[in-house]
Chains A and B, each alone.
Chain A
Amino acid sequence: QAVLTQPSSLSASPGTSASLTCTLRSDIDVGSYKIYWFQQKPGSPPQFLLSYRSDSDKGQGSGVPSRFSGSKDVSANAGLLLISGIHAEDEADYYCMIWHNSVSTVFGGGTKLTVL
């Protein structure tokens, strides 16, 4: 079982909101981890969006709009990336990541967000 699992695709209409999930393997407690989120558009490197452990321990990437936010669903053992007021330019691949130990990182397989 993969350490981090993301749905392969998600569609949303402009102006609406979307919640992208990143489910941690059952033996890894989401409460113990800070979840990092990246956006990648075709032909470009990933861009750091935000990190989220709790409401008191989070960070926003430089220049990243506040309509991108993080959260957790503890009952589902998942990290969430919330995008409100979706714009056409939000169409991209989104990756979650954790520091699996102090020096190595693990990525989810990515979610392709299509803006209809």
Chain B
Amino acid sequence: QAQLEQSGPEVKKAGASVRVSCKASGYTFPRSSLSWLRQAPGQGLEWVGWISAVSGIAHYGQKFLGRVTMTTDIPTNTAFMELRSLKPDDTAVYYCAREVDKDYDVWGQGTLVTVHS
């Protein structure tokens, strides 16, 4: 059974960076792509970016360009998202989601990132 396990909650000060991990199991990690999405408290879903697990090619949302880097580590079946220059309105639950044929069919449990000023 395919699963994505994310790292624990983070509390950061404005201006700092955060790195969230997403460990895959139960499927062939290199054959998939992953998207990262976020959800601010009480708000809807926002796409942050996408990465191909095997090639490491990533595409980022316009508003995150220059602040986000997504990577994968094939030996450990883990994807990472680093967000820099954090602002209070980056406070959100960050999700990784497996993308297969454009379907987000498996989601991580989410990682709450709290940014205080």
Pairwise interchain contact A107-B61, C-beta atoms closer than 8 A: no
Beyond contacts A46-B45, A47-B107, A62-B105: 5 other A-B pairs, Cβ-Cβ < 8 A, are A46-B95, A46-B97, A104-B50, A104-B61, A110-B45
Query: In the complex the two chains form, is A48's CB within 8 Å of B47's CB?
Result: no
How many chain B residues touch A (Cβ–Cβ < 8 Å)?
19
Interface pairs (28), CB distance under 8 Å? A34-B102, A36-B103, A36-B104, A38-B104, A45-B95, A45-B97, A45-B107, A45-B109, A45-B110, A46-B45, A46-B107, A47-B107, A48-B103, A48-B104, A48-B105, A59-B101, A61-B103, A61-B105, A62-B105, A95-B45, A97-B104, A103-B59, A104-B47, A104-B59, A106-B47, A107-B45, A109-B44, A110-B45
Interchain nearest-CB distance for A12 vs B (Å):
21
Measured CB to CB, the closest approach of chain A to B51, in angstroms, equals 10
Q: What's the least CB distance linking A116 to chain B, in Å?
A: 22
Please encode chain B, from 79 to 117, with 1 for each CB lying within 8 Å of some chain A CB and 0 for all others.
000000000000000010100011111011110000000
In the complex, chain A residues whose CB is within 8 Å of the CB of B108: 45
How distant is the Cα of A109 from the Cα of B40 in the complex, in angstroms?
12
A59 to B95, CA, bound (A): 23
Residues of A whose CB lies within 8 Å of any CB of B are 34, 36, 38, 45-48, 51, 59, 61-62, 95, 97, 99, 103-110
Closest approach, in angstroms, between the C-beta of B107 and any C-beta of chain A? 4
| B46 interface residue (CB < 8 Å to A) | yes
For A61, give the chain B residue with the smallest CB separation.
B105
Of B44, B103, B109, the residue contacting A108 (CB under 8 A) is B44
B112 CB to nearest chain A CB (Å): 11
Q: For the complex, what is the distance from the CA of A61 to the CA of B106, rounded to whole Å?
A: 10
* A38→B104 CA distance, assembly (Å): 9
Q: Is B35 an interface residue (CB 8 A)?
A: yes
Q: Which of B34-79 contact A (CB under 8 A)?
A: 35, 44-47, 50, 59, 61
Please determine whether B44 and A105 come into contact, CB atoms closer than 8 angstroms.
Answer: no
| A106 contact set on B, CB distance < 8 A | 47
Residue among A47, A59, A103 facing the most chain B CB atoms (10 A cut-off): A103
Q: CA–CA, A81 to B102, complex, Å?
A: 18
